[in-house]
Amino acid sequence: MKNVVGPRVRALRNRKGRKVTQEELAARLQAMGLRINQAALSKIENGERQVTDVEVLGICRALGVTTAELFHGTRLAAE
């Protein structure tokens, strides 16, 4: 696994009443100047792509959550 936030990105993206598709989230991120398309977002959610600190902040902003909410319940593979 290359990141710990991928499953949380998916969960927050699919929140009841606030569901956002990968395409919609990618468009929001691109509007912020981040080069994340739907395929890259899929890899992030599946833990197959690393996420930079700037991308984490952009994802939080695009989803309307804090970094604490994004990292809530995440664990390192060794834990």
pLDDT tens-digit map of 19-78: 999 999 999 999 999 999 999 999 999 999 999 999 999 999 999 999 999 999 887 765
Domain that holds residue 64: 6-69
Confidence of residue 7 (pLDDT cuts 50, 70, 90): very high
Residue 28 lies in a domain: yes
Q: Let me know: does 50 contact 21? Beta carbons within 8 Å.
A: no
pLDDT recorded at residue 38: 98
Residue 58 lies in a domain: yes
pTM for this model (two decimals): 0.91
Confidence of residue 1 (pLDDT cuts 50, 70, 90): confident
Domains: count for the chain:
1
Residue 78 lies in a domain: no
Q: Let me know: does 3 contact 70? Beta carbons within 8 Å.
A: no
Q: Let me know: does 47 contact 7? Beta carbons within 8 Å.
A: yes
Residue 60 lies in a domain: yes
Residue 41 lies in a domain: yes
CATH of the domain at 14: 1.10.260.40
Residue 77 lies in a domain: no
